[in-house]
């Protein structure tokens, strides 16, 4: 599959993502941002220094002024763009992907990148075409300033005990110091930087990956635990009972603290219906958007939303304008301290509907649209959204079918109020598309 995704660029280092390709991508970005200031940062992956050097070589073939902010978590990269008034930037990272992967997160102006932006870069890189000129570069340490700005935006009336699992990723560079500077008692897990990620996956949302964090939260009587992904822009929380809280539960906790009448909250279409119900109850405006960082952030900015979140653990706050897992951890501590509460107590009254994981089913590329049409037809008596695929709404949940953007497959996800109704929805889907049987264990 192509390294050029809808919102960013990712691939296996040395196979589909090579140093030569990185240099061409650098030139392509420099062409788009010619005459401007470009921030460049990188995560802690083993391949990042080499890829970053090649990217910089390409950028410096164009008339741009580069600020190299070194090894940073992605939120510090976003912060550097904002503070320095840069025209854009490139972060060398594959975020939550396994260690063999790497890639580039892009900023090409005040709005998030679009699929058209990615396609333009792909075209320029393929032809090694674009602007020519002599760029310039300065190196600048941004971590201390980023940490200070996070600290200045947060407060905590009472110190919290927090177990911090950095997963050996980029958040380890600054997150422990930031939380301690706010007065919290921080217990560290996997904060030795190691781009091979030896202790757990860089994706903290994967089932079973947070067992060490759960155990440590219980052992030391922590108020909560937090795990970051490989580049620190996502956060997954564990409550004081050692239970992994869903991203939707965390979003509801944030919403209860932040939403005032009329405030918008953006959530992705794979989120549990508890989010929209909670925001409605608060007098806010729940706005559903398709999954994907760039799509969520674009709507978040356009609507002037107070908050946004994805099931993957991205949290966006109005005062930042972007997602930041480290800030989210500090914000949760602030919310809990102000309430004199724990995360377990705050999520206790949030309904927990039954929801499947993503159910990926291989399907021929040229037959996927017909499949989605069959799903829509089978449930035509229910409200249907076509924001991204087909999303059928029920009183107590939904059924989603959407095309994979990275492979010849369709992904299904189903929510219901209880297991019996979930089974009924599965059976109705199977009746409409009998060919699903045998293609995924869930469908028999």
Interval 277-303: pLDDT, tens: 999 999 999 999 999 889 999 999 999
Give CA–CA dist 81/75, Å, rounded: 10
| Mean pLDDT computed over 74-100 | 98
| Mean pLDDT computed over 381-393 | 96
pLDDT at 405 over 80: no
Give CA–CA dist 34/228, Å, rounded: 34
Selected catalytic residue, list 24, 149, 290, 314:
314
Between 408 and 21, the more confident residue is 21
Selected catalytic residue, list 54, 95, 205, 291:
95
pLDDT in tens, 299-310: 999 999 999 999
- What domains are defined for the chain? 9-142 (3.40.120.10), 157-347 (3.40.120.10), 354-443 (3.30.310.50)
pLDDT at 438 over 70: yes
404 is catalytic: no
Q: What pLDDT, on the 0 to 100 scale, is given for residue 406?
A: 67
377 is catalytic: no
Give CA–CA dist 82/84, Å, rounded: 6
pLDDT in tens, 47-72: 999 999 999 999 999 999 999 999 99
Q: What pLDDT, on the 0 to 100 scale, is given for residue 154?
A: 96
Q: What pLDDT, on the 0 to 100 scale, is given for residue 422?
A: 98
Query: Scanning the structure block, which residue is given the tokens 């005032």?
Result: 260
Burial of 134 (0-12, 13-18, 19+ CB in 10 A): exposed
Q: What pLDDT, on the 0 to 100 scale, is given for residue 156?
A: 78
pLDDT at 1 over 80: no
**Which pTM was predicted?**
0.95
Q: How confident is the model at residue 407 (pLDDT cuts 50, 70, 90)?
A: confident
Q: What pLDDT, on the 0 to 100 scale, is given for residue 273?
A: 96
Q: What pLDDT, on the 0 to 100 scale, is given for residue 404?
A: 85
**414 three-class SS:** strand
| Mean pLDDT computed over 317-341 | 97
pLDDT at 312 over 70: yes
Q: What pLDDT, on the 0 to 100 scale, is given for residue 326?
A: 99
3-state helix, strand, coil in the chain (%, to 5): 40, 25, 40
Cα angle 336-354-431, degrees, rounded to a multiple of 5: 155
314 is catalytic: yes
**319 three-class SS:** coil
Give CA–CA dist 307/321, Å, rounded: 9
DSSP string, 290-309: -SSHHHHHHHHHHHT-SEEE
Average pLDDT, the chain: 97
Could you tell me what percent of the chain has a pLDDT over 90? 95
| Mean pLDDT computed over 20-45 | 98
Of 61-75, 164-178, 375-389, 399-413, least confident by mean pLDDT is: 399-413
Q: What pLDDT, on the 0 to 100 scale, is given for residue 338?
A: 94
CB atoms within 10 A of CB 405: 16
Q: What pLDDT, on the 0 to 100 scale, is given for residue 162?
A: 98
Between 38 and 130, the more confident residue is 38
Instruction: Report residue 241 as tokens.
Output: 């009972």
Give CA–CA dist 77/326, Å, rounded: 13
Q: What pLDDT, on the 0 to 100 scale, is given for residue 88?
A: 98
Residue 145, phi-psi category: left (phi > 0), alpha (psi -120 to 50), beta (remainder): alpha
pLDDT at 425 over 90: yes
């Amino acid at each position: 599959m192509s390294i050029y995704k809808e919102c960013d660029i990712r691939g296996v280092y040395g196979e589909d993502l090579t140093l030569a390709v990185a240099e061409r991508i650098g030139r392509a970005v420099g062409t788009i941002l010619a005459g401007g200031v470009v921030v460049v940062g990188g995560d802690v992956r083993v391949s990042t220094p080499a890829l970053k050097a090649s990217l910089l070589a390409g950028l410096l073939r164009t008339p741009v002024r580069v600020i190299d902010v070194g090894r940073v978590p992605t939120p510090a990269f976003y912060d550097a763009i904002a503070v320095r008034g840069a025209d854009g930037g490139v972060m060398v990272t594959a975020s939550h992907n396994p260690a063999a992967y790497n890639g580039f997160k892009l900023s090409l102006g005040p709005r998030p990148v679009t699929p058209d932006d990615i396609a333009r870069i792909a075209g320029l890189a393929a032809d090694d075409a674009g602007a020519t000129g002599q760029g310039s570069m300065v190196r600048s340490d941004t971590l201390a300033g980023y940490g200070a700005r996070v600290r200045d935006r947060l407060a905590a009336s009472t110190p919290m005990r927090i177990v911090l699992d950095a997963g050996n990723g980029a958040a380890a560079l600054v997150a422990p110091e930031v939380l301690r500077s706010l007065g919290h008692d921080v217990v560290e897990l996997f904060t030795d930087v190691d781009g091979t990620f030896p202790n757990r996956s860089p994706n903290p949302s994967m089932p079973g990956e947070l067992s060490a964090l759960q155990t440590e939260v219980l052992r030391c009587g922590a108020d909560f635990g937090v795990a970051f992904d490989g580049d620190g822009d996502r956060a997954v929380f564990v409550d004081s009972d050692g239970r992994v809280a869903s991203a939707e539960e965390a979003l509801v906790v944030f919403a209860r603290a932040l939403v005032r009448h009329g405030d918008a909250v953006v959530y992705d279409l794979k989120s549990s219906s508890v989010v929209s119900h909670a925001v409605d109850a608060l007098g806010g405006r729940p706005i559903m958007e398709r999954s994907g960082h760039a799509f969520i952030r674009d709507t978040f900015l356009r609507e002037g939303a107070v908050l946004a979140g994805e099931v993957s653990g991205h949290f966006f706050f109005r005062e930042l304008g972007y997602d930041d897992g480290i800030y989210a951890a500090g914000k949760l501590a602030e919310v809990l301290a102000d309430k004199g509460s724990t995360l377990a107590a705050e999520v206790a009254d949030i309904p927990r509907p039954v929801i499947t994981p993503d159910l990926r089913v291989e399907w021929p590329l040229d037959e996927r649209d017909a499949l989605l049409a069959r799903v829509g037809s089978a449930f035509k008596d229910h409200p249907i959204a076509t924001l991204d695929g087909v999303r059928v709404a029920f009183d107590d949940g939904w059924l989603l079918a959407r095309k994979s953007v990275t492979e010849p497959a369709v992904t299904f996800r189903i929510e219901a109020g209880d297991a019996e109704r979930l089974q009924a929805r599965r059976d109705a889907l199977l009746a409409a598309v009998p060919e699903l049987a045998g293609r995924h264990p869930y469908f028999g």
